[in-house]
Amino acid sequence: MGRSVTEQEFEELYRATVGDLIAYLRRRGASDAENVAAEVYAIAWRRRTDLPAPMLRRAWLFGAAAKVMQAEHRRRVREREAGAEHARLDGATPDDAQSTTTETMVAAIGRLSPGHQEVLRLIEWERLTPAELATALGVRAGTARVRLHRARMALAADPAVRALVEEGSSSHLLEHHP
């Protein structure tokens, strides 16, 4: 960090990573992945003196994208809560629980803390290494490995996941699902 990225280097970074970043955002349910990616690259351009070494910039972009998505998620949660309150007042009922292995795993991951969810998604879906995970999260490598271990342990402790394992369905635990 410290040396500003040139315009040419930034263009090369963009060309090399935009496909991966948009795919990352789409897997996380970004309704307008291209616009979110544009916001991430705008942030990267403004912070071009803070970007890590070239081999870690892709991971840094994932971390920035996660933060943008978290801000968007908080906004949607506020909207959803207002809608749920309105639906409750109108007598609406929630949907029935999902029963397939994939749906069970997605629900179990959804019950994890946002931090655990993001760690698992970055490692399992984006195939980041622990070093890249550290960069994406903005922490030291040892801290990233501890967070990964804790996230996996939290997922394994979920009662629905334990039931799947007991049923012999553990081969689908962390497949690539949005």
Residue 162 has a pLDDT of: 87
- pLDDT tens digits, 81-124: 666 555 555 554 444 333 467 778 888 888 999 899 989 888 88
**What would the pLDDT profile of 17-43 be if each residue is shown by its tens digit?**
999 999 999 998 888 899 999 999 999
Domain residue spans in the chain?
1-94, 96-178
What average pLDDT does range 113-138 have in this prediction? 89
CATH number of 1-94: 1.10.1740
- For every residue of the chain, DSSP letters joined together read --SPPPHHHHHHHHHHHHHHHHHHHHHTT-TTHHHHHHHHHHHHHHTTTT---GGGHHHHHHHHHHHHHHHHHHHHHHHHHHHHHHHHHHT--PPPPP-SHHHHHHHHHHHS-HHHHHHHIIIIIS---HHHHHHHHTS-HHHHHHHHHHHHHHHHHSHHHHHHHHTT-GGGTT-S--
Whole-model pTM?
0.56
User: Taking 70 as the threshold, does the pLDDT of residue 154 lie above it?
Assistant: yes
For the domain spanning 96-178, the CATH number is 1.10.10.10
